[in-house]
Structures are given as C-alpha cells and as structure tokens.
Homo-oligomer: A and B are copies of this chain.
Amino acid sequence: MQTPLAEIINIGDEILYGQITNTNAQGMSEALNKIGVNVVRHTVINDDENAILKALEEAEKRCDIILLTGGLGPTKDDITKKTLCKFFGTELVMNEEALAHVSAFFSKRKIEMLEINKWQAALPSNATYIKNSKGTAPGMWFEHNGKVFVSMPGVPYEMKHLMEYYVVPHLQNFFQTPHIVHKMIKTVGVGESYLADKIETWEDNLPPHIRLAYLPSFGMVRLRLTGIGDDVVQVEKDIEAEVKKVLPTIHKSVYGFDDDELPFVVGRMLANQGKTLATAESCTGGFLAYSFTQYAGSSDFFTGSVVAYSNEVKMKVLGVEAETLEKQGAVSEETVLQMAAGVRKALGTDIGVATSGIAGPGGGTETKPVGTIWVGYSDAEQTVATLYQLTEDRMVNIRVTSNLLIDWIRRKNGYNLKKLQVE
C-alpha cells in the first residue's frame, strides 16, 4: 500500500515564545519514520480553540495520521479535549477506567484529588482510552473517516512512553506501512558543490525509491540516502548497493557512516594503532583538544595540548625559535612546523599537530587577512604544513580548522575505509 502521511501538531505557548525547543516533534518524527510513516508536516500552535480546530481541519485534508500533544492538563488553558469534541461532533463523558487510574494516582501519593483532577478522566465519547502510567493526563486514540487521530500529553517522557507502548504498535497494525531506511555517508574536507559535481552521474541514476540529500556543516558534508519500499531487506540491500557504487568516487573524503563522529573515529583509529597525539594550538585556542576530550576514552591516545596564545609560550614550552617569530611572524609556515614538532617532543607523543592563524574578527593585515590559517603536522617521518583561507567568522574558522586538521591526521595515518565498510 501507499506510505501513510502524518502530521504532528504540538500545542504550547512556550514553544511559540521560543522558551523551549520542540523536542517532542523530533522524537515523534523519528519514531514514525522508523515504522515507514512519512511525516510531511510539523505544526506548532497555541492553546486556542480556533487555532486547534483550523490545524485539525488542515491536517485531516492532507494526512492519514494526525498526532497531537499538549493541552491536556487540569488547568484552565488546557482545551484540547473540548476542541476535539467540537471537531468530531461528540461530547465529554466520564471514562471509568481513566477515573480509576487518576484516583489511584492520587491515593498512592496520599494527595487529595480535586474536582479539576476528576475532569481529566472525562474523554470525548468517540475516544479509545490510552492509559498513561507516567501521569494523570490520558492518551486518546480516534478513528475518523479512515484516519487516525491521537492526542497525548505534552510532557516529553509521558508522550514518549505512550508512543512506544501503544501508538507506534497500533499504527503499525492499522496501516500496512512500507519501510523507510536511512543511511548517512559522512565526508570531510571537500565542499558541497565539489561533491555534487563528483557524484552527479551516480545521483542522476539513483532509483526512484532512493533519495539523496546534502547536509553541510563546518568543513564536513553528510550525504543522506533515504529508501522507501515494502520489503525492508530489499530496501536495505538497494541502499547498500548504491553506497558501494558511490564509495570509490569519494572514499578518500569519507570518515564514517550514520552516527560516526569525526574526532571520535580518528581517535579510535589512533588508539587502535597504538599511537599518541598532542596538539599545539594558537588560533583554535583549546577547541581542538576539546574536540577529542569531549569523548570518554580519549586518554587512550590523547596525551595533551599546549594552547600557546603568547609568543613566550610558543618559545618556552614548544621551542619555537625567537628569530622565526620575529622574521616570519606567529602565523607562518615555519612557526606551525616548529610548533607541531615542538609539541610532539615536549609531550613525547608519536604525532604532534599545530594551528596558528588569524581567527578574527580583528588582527587581519593586507598579506594575512582574517581567515589566514596555517596548520602543521609532525610524526617520526615528516613535519609538514598547509595553509587554509577560511571565513571572517571566528567561530566558523575555529571549527572548520579543527575538523580539517583532524581530517589531515586521518589521511596521514592511512585510514583504511575497509574497516568502516558498510555492514
């Protein structure tokens, strides 16, 4: 059958005020995509009868599944249930099972149940009651003109619980859902346009049930393949086949798949090779070290970093020559070569890398504008440097430099894509 289409409607002022991020929509989307439901829209509205009615009407026109969260608490601004009655042309009736649950909830906590709490057990007469063991607001399942509407509380862990134990399995039963499979190919060191150009023929020849998206960030581009079909095993096979086809063209830029993170992957590679790493940072200012140390287990390969912001530290701790700093300046090939070799020696590691550049926004000159960044790499066999011309944005420069330099470590240490091979 056809892929069912879903819309997620989240009711809540605090999202529209920008006070919280709408994590509910993300979690619900993820759960629906996993069972082959195509989420075509997220809608956020406030606790307003007209807004809710309008959203329900619009959603019903375009979707098979409409999931709502929010507006089910006992306070006055929670009007979802009344509005659902209006929408379906039904009315609220006390649900005995829900009332027993709410009563038990209060008596268990030895709190007196107020009249407004009882009201939580009144449901639209066409609702199937979904028990919420994490709270007092009920979940509700509606079938209407062949479509499914589900109303859930907005508290994230309550919603998540109802989705997992009831909504997802019941949707799988109700709809004969096709399967959606995602695969992410993660690249670094090449731009989106360059990649698009390289893989154009492959992209143009993708079968119609597989789509491609480019997701760029800070010197990296993720290629996301999405496949749809009735037979999950076949879709997975088709995607794997496409990945195998494209890899030879781009394999040097690929550092991993799916949830792989660049510093983590490169760190594991060094740890597996028994190599140790030290960093000497000027313009990255500690961010490069933190890229590695944010992950548990980084002490397996990461020995330490010298953030050498002043020339004195570059000389005293890293052994950069005074003459070099004076004649060529701190942002120069010769300086990063000495920094990379110097930190390797000072910290006694197999590999040393270094950064020195004009991160900006100030400090640029005619010959060395903001974004001029030298990086160095040193191991037992070589000590080399390269120049990046990046942006005028300090944060972007720091992040891109870190990613590109981590990629350089990867390339210099014979990172073998076969180890990453698609399962």
Contact = CB atoms under 8 A, between A and B. Distances in A.
A147 B303 CA distance: 58
Interface string A250-286: 0000000000000000000000000000010100111
A193 B116 contact: yes
A290 interface: yes
A172 interface: no
A263 B304 CA distance: 22
Interface residues of A, number: 110
Copy number of this protein in the oligomer? 2
Interface string A202-232: 0100000000111111000000101000000
Is chain A's interface secondary structure helix, strand, loop, or mixed overall? mixed
A17 B44 contact: no
A362 B297 contact: yes
Contacts of A371: 108
Interface string A349-387: 000000000011111000000010000000000000000
Given A317-B346, A347-B317, A389-B110, A23 B21 contact: yes
Interface in A385-402: 389-396, 398
A13 B16 CA distance: 21
13 contacts: A18-B31, A18-B32, A18-B33, A21-B26, A40-B51, A42-B42, A43-B44, A58-B58, A77-B214, A157-B393, A286-B287, A296-B361, A303-B313
Interface string A93-113: 000000000000000111100
A289 interface: yes
Contacts of A290: 284-287, 290, 398
B286 A114 contact: no
Given A39-B16, A40-B45, A196-B74, A289 B304 contact: no
Given A77-B213, A294-B395, A312-B348, A16 B44 contact: no
Given A15-B29, A389-B110, A360 B307 contact: no
A201 interface: no
A293 interface: yes
A132 to B, nearest CB: 11
Interface of A: 13-23, 25-33, 39-46, 51, 54, 58, 62, 73-77, 108-111, 114, 116-117, 133-134, 155, 157, 182, 191-193, 196-197, 203, 212-217, 224, 226, 279, 281, 284-290, 292-294, 296-299, 302-310, 312-313, 316-317, 346-348, 359-363, 371, 389-396, 398
B307 A286 contact: yes
A35 to B, nearest CB: 12
A22 B42 contact: yes
A43 B41 contact: yes
Given A16-B39, A214-B73, A285 B296 contact: no
Contacts of A398: 290, 294
Considering residues A193, A296, A317, which has the most beta carbons from chain B within 10 angstroms of its beta carbon?
A: A193
Contacts of A303: 309-310, 312-313
Contact of A309 (B29, B39, B299, B317): B299
A33 B46 CA distance: 14
A109 to B, nearest CB: 5
A306 B309 contact: no
A30 B58 contact: no
